[in-house]
Amino acid sequence: MSTPISSFTYSILLIQLLLASVASAQNTVNFPRIGHLDRFDSSLDRLIAKDAVIEVLCGGFEWAEGPVWVPEQGNKFGGFVLFSDIPHNAVMKWQEGVGVSVFLKPSGYTGVADYGREPGSNGLALDPSGRLVLCEHGDRRVSVLTKGGGKLTLADRWNGKRFNSPNDLAIRRNGDVFFTDPIYGLPQRADDPLREIDFCGVYRLQSDGAVTLQYKEISRPNGIAFSPDEKILYVANSDGNDPVWRAFPVQEDGNLGSPSSFFDSSKDDRISRGGGDGLKVDVQGNVFATGPGGVLVLSPHGKLLGRIVTGERIANVGWGNDGSVLYLTSDMYLCRIQTLTKGDGFD
């Protein structure tokens, strides 16, 4: 007896078939659509139009992460998107009118032996000079791609001990890099014999190479982003037992003060309890944070306004184009949605 196919499964199969046809011809015009928006507050209408759609730009990845927009002179679309496919140890490039290609491989592990399930790069960002900065799982470092095409290690140790697996990063306008260091990239995670630091921390990397531990009273620090005025640093915790997004005041000397709770998913019955992954902030201070069921849209005061839902887990988001397009890395897909706001850093 045959088993009936659910409507959700049918939708996913249809999208995969459509993506297969897109990939074969690199068609970047007729994109499949997926998911929906949950509107919890009318103020979401000022940020995302009611008829906004989620487009699937490309697929076939194992776990996509860390989308970042790279401006490019002479590009009629203004630039392109880079994102990590962590298990495949690659940074991928997607460009309007062209499609998807491999930009950098290996991206996070340069060894010859097998290195677990997640060896590649994770979070990506551009520094004030426009260089690509990467959080690398396998090589356990924060690196920068030089203009000559080679990589330079910015930091791989704290107090002489190797990091666990740098995960995501936020770069201040003065060049300071703040990054999170959970255990997800270690082959045996918390029990890995190669582990040298027995906690998961939030760090500050300064331009002179100094690395300082900013916070360690957090089980699984993950996504990280500054408020537009850089007076607050938001950090997600990807732990369902402590599903709190923390807000850290940035002190005059650039270090972090004691955090407060910005949002706690266990205290909102409109969504399931769960930790967060990547996040970004718009020019108005609203936080677009991946979490239970999709991308949570939070006001500057931590009020849940709505949620962007693809039907797949969403690892991270990034602003692009003129700043009004939000790119989503959603499991095997790269998606986008047009918004009515702009990302922080876009004029």
**Segment (H or E) for 234:** strand 232-237
User: Candidates 1.20.950.20, 1.20.1090.10, 3.30.360.10, 2.120.10.30; correct CATH number of 7-338?
Assistant: 2.120.10.30
Give the model confidence (pLDDT) of 94-110 as tens digits: 999 999 999 999 999 99
2 pLDDT more than 60: no
Q: What is the pLDDT of residue 14?
A: 46
Tokens coding 121: 């790069």
Give the model confidence (pLDDT) of 173-220 as tens digits: 999 999 999 999 999 999 999 999 999 999 999 999 999 999 999 999
**Segment (H or E) for 202:** strand 201-205
Tokens coding 128: 């004030």
Give the model confidence (pLDDT) of 219-266 as tens digits: 999 999 999 999 999 999 999 999 999 999 999 999 999 999 999 999
Q: What is the pLDDT of residue 149?
A: 85
Q: Where are the domains of the chain?
A: 7-338
Amino acid letter for position 302: G
Pairing status of strand 161-162 against strand 157-158: antiparallel
1 pLDDT more than 70: no
Q: What is the pLDDT of residue 347?
A: 73
26 pLDDT more than 80: no
Amino acid letter for position 12: I
Read off the pTM: 0.92
Give the model confidence (pLDDT) of 144-155 as tens digits: 999 888 999 999
Q: What is the pLDDT of residue 148?
A: 86
Q: What is the pLDDT of residue 4?
A: 43
* Max CA distance (Å), the chain: 69
Q: Are 263 and 245 in contact (CB under 8 A)?
A: yes
235-273 burial, b at 16+ Cβ within 10 Å, e below that, comes to bbbbbeeebbbbbbebeeeeebeebeebbebbebeebee
12 pLDDT more than 70: no
Q: What is the pLDDT of residue 147?
A: 86
CB-count exposure of residue 137 (10 Å: 0-12, 13-18, 19+): buried
Beta bridge partners of 279: 289
Identify the CA nearest to 87 among candidates 130, 116, 57: 116
